């Protein structure tokens, strides 16, 4: 079998596979990413660890060395359970990241599906944040205060006072925050977040505290909404796991395993496991055993149920998955 970034040929049984995290430098990021990652070879602060994404490199199994985008384009039915019907190529539906803000992120907003498609993009960007670690007093901005509109925002950007227009929400470890498209939002320092979102990177930066970066104010004003459903989500306990969020584009469950115990993951939807504490082994009929450590992600193709076995110190992981295609 031959694998390249653009094509994959030869018969292959596709089971779960691990992806290599990639790190993005950001002015608001951190230099110390422990306990999630050890030494990262970068002279600049790291703001994001991309766990999935089009250019994520597969580390295990017969597709090792390929990017996630190349694998999904070649095997859409085997990985996603469907083939694309339009002009857009098949794409893994979820973009999952760890965020490490040491300073405030810019105030930004994302378009919804219809707005993105009007620009020739396949989808908009609705997301959620799961708080993995948190310093006392940490906050996020979710939406605009009552009565704030376009004119007030434009004035606030020119006089560096936009923060005063935002609804600030305190967060603690274990909070799940939903951020639907159209919500003006920002993340403050002192948190580590697991972000699950639609696979899209359309971001309109509306305000950046005077930092010399490009703003997209008019684009942001055109897609923002003064009222959204953004906010904290109450978890729901199920036998063996906790449902953190269930929305149109994604569901996120948390599993907490005692040492050397196991959890069964269903195979009815394409998804991803992210180890958020400890380590373990993923077993399935379609793939060899896969070691997964904290900060690593394993993709589960549709139709591939698997068993996750925790290590000697126990393991916690998030299972992030998209609804099956109609």
* pLDDT greater than 50 at residue 75: yes
Cβ atoms within 10 A of the Cβ of 144, count? 22
How far, in Å, CA of 77 to CA of 23, rounded?
29
314: buried, middle or exposed (CB in 10 Å: 19+, 13-18, 0-12)? middle
Whether 150 is a known active-site residue: answer: no
Q: How far is CA 207 from CA 147, 190, 220, in A?
A: 19, 20, 10
pLDDT band with cut points at 50, 70 and 90 for residue 269 = confident
How far, in Å, CA of 293 to CA of 281, rounded?
9
Cβ atoms within 10 A of the Cβ of 240, count? 11
One CATH from 2.60.40.10, 3.40.640.10, 3.40.50.980, 2.60.120.10 for 2-233: 2.60.120.10
How far, in Å, CA of 296 to CA of 292, rounded?
6
136: buried, middle or exposed (CB in 10 Å: 19+, 13-18, 0-12)? exposed
In percent, the amount of the chain with pLDDT more than 70 equals 95
* pLDDT greater than 70 at residue 325: no
pLDDT band with cut points at 50, 70 and 90 for residue 104 = very high
Which are the contacts of 320, defined by CB distance < 8 A and separation ≥ 6? 94, 96, 196, 250, 251, 252, 271, 272, 273, 274
Tokens describing residue 42? 């970068």
Q: What is the CA radius of gyration of the chain?
A: 20
CB 38 within 8 A of CB 5: no
pLDDT band with cut points at 50, 70 and 90 for residue 102 = very high
How far, in Å, CA of 38 to CA of 263, rounded?
27
Sign of CA dihedral 27, 273, 252, 325: positive
How far, in Å, CA of 27 to CA of 178, rounded?
25
Range with the poorest average pLDDT among 5-9, 85-89, 153-157: 5-9
Q: Tokens 């901005």 map to which residue?
A: 141
* pLDDT greater than 70 at residue 242: yes
CB 135 within 8 A of CB 170: no
* pLDDT greater than 90 at residue 126: yes
pLDDT digits (tens, 9 = 90+) for 204-234: 999 999 899 999 999 999 999 999 999 999 9
Q: What is the mean pLDDT of the chain?
A: 92
Catalytic residue among 73, 205, 243, 254: 205
Coil vs helix vs strand at 282: strand
CB 112 within 8 A of CB 46: no
How far, in Å, CA of 220 to CA of 115, rounded?
11
The CATH number given to 236-321 is 2.60.120.10
In the chain, CATH 2.60.120.10 covers 2-233, 236-321
Length of the chain, please? Answer: 326
* pLDDT greater than 80 at residue 239: yes
């Amino acid at each position: 079998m031959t694998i390249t970034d653009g094509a994959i040929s030869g018969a292959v049984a596709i089971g779960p596979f691990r992806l290599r995290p990639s790190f993005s430098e950001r002015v608001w990021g951190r230099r110390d990413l422990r306990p999630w990652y050890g030494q990262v070879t970068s002279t600049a602060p790291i703001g994001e660890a991309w766990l999935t994404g089009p250019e994520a490199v597969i580390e295990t199994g017969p597709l090792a060395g390929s990017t996630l985008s190349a694998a999904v384009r070649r095997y859409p039915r085997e990985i996603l359970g469907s083939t694309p019907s339009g002009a857009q190529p098949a794409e893994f539906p979820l973009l999952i990241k760890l965020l490490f803000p040491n300073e405030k992120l810019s105030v930004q907003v994302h378009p919804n599906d219809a707005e993105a498609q009007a620009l020739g993009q396949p989808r908009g960007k609705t997301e959620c944040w799961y708080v993995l670690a948190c310093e006392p007093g940490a906050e996020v901005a979710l939406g605009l205060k009552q009565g704030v509109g376009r004119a007030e925002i434009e004035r606030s950007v020119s006089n560096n006072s936009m923060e005063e227009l935002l609804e600030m929400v305190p967060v603690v470890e274990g909070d799940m925050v939903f951020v639907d498209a159209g919500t003006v939002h920002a993340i403050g320092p002192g948190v580590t977040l697991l972000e699950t979102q639609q696979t899209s990177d359309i971001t309109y930066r509306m305000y950046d505290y005077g930092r010399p970066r490009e703003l997209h104010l008019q684009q942001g004003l055109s897609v923002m909404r003064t009222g959204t459903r953004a906010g904290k989500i109450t978890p729901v306990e199920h036998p063996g796991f906790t449902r953190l969020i269930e929305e149109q584009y994604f569901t996120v469950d948390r599993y907490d395993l005692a040492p050397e115990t196991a959890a069964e993951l269903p195979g009815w939807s394409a998804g991803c496991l992210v180890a958020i504490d400890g380590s373990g082994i993923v077993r399935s009929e379609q793939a060899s055993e896969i070691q997964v450590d904290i900060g690593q992600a394993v993709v589960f193709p549709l139709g591939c149920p698997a068993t996750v076995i925790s290590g000697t110190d126990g393991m916690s992981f998030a299972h992030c998955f998209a609804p099956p295609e109609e």
